[in-house]
Structure 1
Amino acid sequence: MATQVTTTTAAATNTRRGASFLQIAIALQTLTIFLQAVSAGLLLTSSYGETLHGVGARVMYGASMLYVLAAVLAWKPGGGSPRPVWHASGFLVLASVQVVLGIAHVPSVHVPLGVLMFGLSVLALARR
C-alpha cells in the first residue's frame, strides 16, 4: 500500500514539474518573439538592428525547439495530453517558415507571420 502511494505521489510530482517546464518554455518563447518585434523596429532605425534581429532569430528558434522538448517531457513521462506536443511542433514549423522568409527578405509575409506567432504564443501561455 505504501509503495502505491509513493508511486502516485512521484507521478503527480513529475506531472507538475513537466507542466512547470512547459510553462517556462512557452513564456520564454513568447518573450523572444516579443524581443524580435523590438529588434525589427531597431532594424529599421539603427545600424546594429540587423545583427540584433539575426541573433534574436536564432534564440527564438531555440526557444521553439525547447517548447517541443518541454511538451514531450510533459506528455510522455508525466502522462499528460499529447495536444501540447502537436501545438509545439506546429509552432516549430511556423518558426522554420519565419526564418526562411526572413532570410529570403519577404517582409510582406514575414511581418504578419511574426504577429500571428506572437498572438499564438500568448494564447498558448494564457491556456497554461
Structure 2
Amino acid sequence: MATEVTTEATATENARRGSAFLQTAIVLQTLTIFLQAVSAGLLLTSSYGETLHSVGARVMYGASMLYALAAVLAWKPGGGSPRPVRHASGFLVLASVQVVLGIAHVPSVHLPLGVLMFGLSVLALARR
C-alpha cells in the first residue's frame, strides 16, 4: 500500500517536472525566434548584424532540439500526451528548412517562414 502511494507520488512529481521543462523549452524557443527577428533587422542596418543572426540561428536550432527533447521526456517517462512530441518534431523540421533557406539566401521564403514559426511558437506557449 505504501509502495503504491510512493509510486503515484513519484509519477506525479515526474510529470510536473517534465511539464515544467517543456514549458521552459517553449519559452526559450519563442524568445530565440523573437531575437532572430531583431537580429534580422540589424542584419540590414549594421555591420555586426550578420554575425548576430548567424549565431542566433544556431541558438534557435538548439532551442528547437531542446523543445523536442523536453516533449519526449514529458511524454515517455512522465506519462503525458504524445501531442507535444508531434508539435516539437514538426517545429524541428520547420527550423531545419529555415536554416537551409537562410544559408541558400532565399529571403522570399525565409522571412515568411520565420514569422510563421514565431506565431506557432507563441501558440504552443499559449496552449501550455
Per the alignment, residue 101 of structure 1 pairs with 101
Aligned residue runs from structure 1 range 46-65, under 5 A: 46-65=46-65
Residue 127 of structure 1 and its aligned partner are, at CA, apart by 0.3
Residue 33 of structure 1 and its aligned partner are, at CA, apart by 0.1
- How many equivalent pairs are there? 128
Moved over 3 A (4+): none
Provide, for residues 4-42 of structure 1, a one-character-per-residue CA deviation record: whole Å limited to 9, x for no partner: 001000000000000000000000000000000000000
- Stretches of structure 1 that go unaligned for 5 or more consecutive residues are none
TM-score computed with the length of structure 1 as normaliser: 1.00
Cα distance in 1 for partners of 2:18, 2:47 equals 41
Per the alignment, residue 44 of structure 1 pairs with 44
CA-atom RMSD in angstroms: 0.3
Per the alignment, residue 8 of structure 2 pairs with 8
Cα distance in 2 for partners of 1:11, 1:103 equals 44
Residue 81 of structure 1 and its aligned partner are, at CA, apart by 0.6
Matched position secondary structure for 1:35: helix
Provide, for residues 63-116 of structure 1, a one-character-per-residue CA deviation record: whole Å limited to 9, x for no partner: 000000000000000000111000000000000000000000000000000000
Per the alignment, residue 91 of structure 1 pairs with 91
Q: Report sequence identity in percent.
A: 88
Q: What residue identity is the alignment partner of 2:32?
A: T
Residue 45 of structure 1 and its aligned partner are, at CA, apart by 0.2
TM-score computed with the length of structure 2 as normaliser: 1.00
* Residues 1:80 and 2:80 are matched in the alignment: yes
